[in-house]
Amino acid sequence: MKPMASAKALFPRQARHRTVPRRYKPSILQDYELGRAWRSTRLVRARRGVCTDSRLATPMLDLLAALAIRQARDKGLYSG
């Protein structure tokens, strides 16, 4: 049996790589669009805390967190 033939037999088309639907939106975006309070502060701060404890610089994480907080604050979804 050829290698590709055996791979096709083992992995039928339905079981192969599945892509995310085009209309998929992460929950944080759905919350933002629906005006729900922003609950990801803990996630951002926890990761930053781990990096700080390990003495790792986090310039991109800091920037992204600041931008996300600003967006949420502008929409009235974040207080802190």
Q: How far apart are the first and last CA of the chain?
A: 63
Segments making up each domain of the chain, as ranges:
25-80
pLDDT in tens, 21-47: 677 888 878 888 898 887 766 777 777
Report d(CA 51, CA 76) in Å as an integer. Answer: 29
Question: 62: pLDDT confidence band, cut at 50, 70 and 90?
Answer: confident
Looking at residue 5, its pLDDT comes to 59
Question: 67: pLDDT confidence band, cut at 50, 70 and 90?
Answer: confident
